[in-house]
Structure 1
């Protein structure tokens, strides 16, 4: 599997740019000795790897969302931790999302139709829905309808965030109908090793996530979606070994976080999460944080977010904690949707009255599963879940679920950023020397290239959504 993974990645990389060329260039540059039809397995591997690298990488995760939700903090070059960005700072998610992920997933869908293999179509629709979710979660209104054909729509219009979410729910319904465990086999799947039954669970789990994104605005639609999932019957991700994730290998296919820490020393764990883990006597503390290099009274020392450079460095590189060794390992996974998240989502759906399940039981299961994800012993789990500070509060489910989900999503910066905005917990204080007048970021700003290359549609989107700044709330972010 590892050999195949590496081979597919190398081949897929060569194909990624080819499929996005305009027809005129393709006609001119045909190689008479090579196939002119991209193979879906190579495209699938390449799209997964490109998206996961960006999702888990520096620009969107380490230098943005991990700082916004106060999992990590900066001890050097602290501008991002103080919310100082340019219009190129958030370009990676947009550029890779559209030009390498969505373009190639659209190509897989076309090939699937041509080759009469609907399982490729279903898998590509699930992944494309995830990519579009990342884009709209963070920017707001985005090109969706016209993003399916970049050769025809070089300057695509922006769809409203509500419309994007609704369309993605439909796409996932189509994906579910396309996925057939008795259908043709696929290859190139480095998430589930070509297991279609797990893709069906992934599709439902992503649909659940999006249904809750819209729950404050469109509760009846969210409830309807959950009823449809229940009636469909494939279920959700239901074990830790079913978590949707890309498990990295050794260099050069190592985890982007591992790759960065090989050569840089900019980041420490945030004081916010360290303090919360100490407060709860949470057994995940030694998983999430590394011991300080020099002996310190508490062993694990986080730093406040958003310090000036001098104040941050004065805390001492050897007296503050890096993220835990689990997250720095070359083979650490890029988690897309975990079993723990699905349980928290089901707990919230029940608390909102969307299902008849027991929210308190699901909440406890979610915490248990998160702890087991990191190998925590049963005795420690029982002690933790019995703690009064961890008990489910039915009178304020957003607080209970929001705080514990925040802990469980550690490392998943983009997802945690979306959930923190939606649930409003935990209640975070702005960066110490932040530059947003006492506010925290609640979105990404559009890449500068949109202003220069798609200016008319960019201006229309901004006029409807609000100023293109970090503090403009998006449609799903109600409170």
Structure 2
């Protein structure tokens, strides 16, 4: 009996110890700068700013996805442009979006549930859906259904991309139902200034984006999603004035691209996109790139992607084009989703037979919207659209849309990377001195901490999806 009592006490001690460890881990994961009684307005502002900085910043944009899609190139320290990475190079998005963005949005939803303010809950769901899509498009399988609840799931399971995207479409449909212009308003909204109609349009624009993302895998779901949007009647983003974007203010709230160029000169515009813009007489060339500091006959000179550091250095800083001042301005916007993207999406949806309409007209409107976004004159827009190389080809809609969308998404590295993999256009030439056997990366690497801290779930994801390499093709990337 004495041994049984001793054993029971020991078991109770272990249970208490495990509970204490869990409490300690939750305490460690608390943000020390977070208010003890958080306010939804404060959390909303913080989440939008934190997420946009990471999305538009160095790790997820400048030093990776913008290089993969050959919008930008490296002029020095060229390893990333040659696809030389470790799993420690891709931790910023994963850690920021899970530990800060999603966790704060979950709190907003909880606070909104208690206060009865459905608009906060709807806005949080829209942002959460966008952030989860960034994660799954970059890495593949991710924690989704168990994410953001450390009290219940210390080691959350990974969900397949199919599960994630089905869930995101449901979340956005729920958000659309929650958002109500006649209900209590919201504060802290640095995207739309509390305009709930614009949030409803943004939610539907994301639904369109996600429907097309799964179109090659789940065409029936994609089509029914767009039919639901039409039936609901809230509509999409209606103009460039309604683009989902964070417009940066003065220091310390500067655009992260501007901050990067103040510190160093690692980046130049890629030769690939400069050559394409020049071939099309595209007036966006003067916006996307600066003329060379040393006068050259070409005026705009891009850097081939994936040069060795010595070869890139030999081209010279002054004889190659930096990204345009528009993108290096401290107040330049971090674009999340544009009117042009919506119109390209509608053109593709018509081309696939998902909706009715004029695919050519939507395509031309999309190009117009992209050019107008940079204040290009109507005269130049008309001239540009008349070129044979710009004309819409309904028999090769993926090529027409893919190439023009790639140009329009300049600066939005993660979205351009996803669309290039999905549409397979433009057809890019891999890095000159790349290390992937003449191939371009198809995903980000899972952070090394996942293998050590969430090994079981990580291993299950790898077993389903494939090895944790840059060349493992993701579920939505069919061809």
Q: TM-score range by the shorter chain?
A: over 0.9
Give unmatched runs, 5+ long, in structure 2.
1-20
Q: Cα offset for 1:250?
A: 1.5
Instruction: Encode CA deviations 1:296-326: one digit per residue, 9 max, x unaligned.
Output: 0110000100000000000011000000000
Q: Cα offset for 1:258?
A: 0.1
Q: Cα offset for 1:251?
A: 1.2
Contact kept in structure 1, 2:26 and 2:150, CA below 8 Å: no
Where in structure 2 are the equivalents of 1:35-50 lying within 5 Å?
36-50=36-50
Q: Which residue of 1 aligns with 2:318?
A: 318
- Using the size of structure 2 for normalisation, the TM-score is 0.93
Partner SS, residue 181 of structure 1: coil
Residues 85 and 394 from structure 1, CA distance in 2 versus in 1: closer, same or farther, beyond 3 angstroms?
A: same
Q: Which residue of 2 aligns with 1:472?
A: 472
- d(CA) in 2 for partners of 1:117, 1:283: 46
Instruction: Encode CA deviations 1:352-396: one digit per residue, 9 max, x unaligned.
Output: 000001100000000001000000001000000011110000110
Partner SS, residue 362 of structure 1: helix
The answer to whether 1:237 aligns with 2:237 is: yes
Partner SS, residue 336 of structure 1: strand
Partner SS, residue 158 of structure 2: coil
- d(CA) in 1 for partners of 2:392, 2:113: 47
Q: Cα offset for 1:148?
A: 3.5
The answer to whether 1:162 aligns with 2:162 is: yes
Give unmatched runs, 5+ long, in structure 1.
1-20
Which ranges of 4 or more aligned residues in structure 1 deviate by more than 3 Å? 21-28
- d(CA) in 1 for partners of 2:27, 2:467: 42
Residues 22 and 323 from structure 1, CA distance in 2 versus in 1: closer, same or farther, beyond 3 angstroms?
A: farther
Partner SS, residue 262 of structure 1: helix
Structure number with greater Rg is 2
Q: Which residue of 1 aligns with 2:68?
A: 68
Q: Cα offset for 1:263?
A: 1.2
Partner SS, residue 186 of structure 2: coil
Q: Which residue of 1 aligns with 2:180?
A: 180
- Using the size of structure 1 for normalisation, the TM-score is 0.93
Partner SS, residue 90 of structure 1: helix
In angstroms, what is the RMSD of aligned CA positions?
Answer: 1.7
Where in structure 2 are the equivalents of 1:330-349 lying within 5 Å?
330-349=330-349
Instruction: Encode CA deviations 1:126-173: one digit per residue, 9 max, x unaligned.
Output: 000000000000100000010031221111000001000000000000
Partner SS, residue 362 of structure 2: helix
Contact kept in structure 1, 2:271 and 2:302, CA below 8 Å: yes
Contact kept in structure 1, 2:129 and 2:171, CA below 8 Å: yes
Count of residue correspondences? 456
The answer to whether 1:356 aligns with 2:375 is: no
- d(CA) in 2 for partners of 1:105, 1:408: 30
Q: Which residue of 2 aligns with 1:412?
A: 412
Contact kept in structure 1, 2:144 and 2:164, CA below 8 Å: yes
Q: Cα offset for 1:22?
A: 7.6
Where in structure 2 are the equivalents of 1:145-224 lying within 5 Å?
145-224=145-224
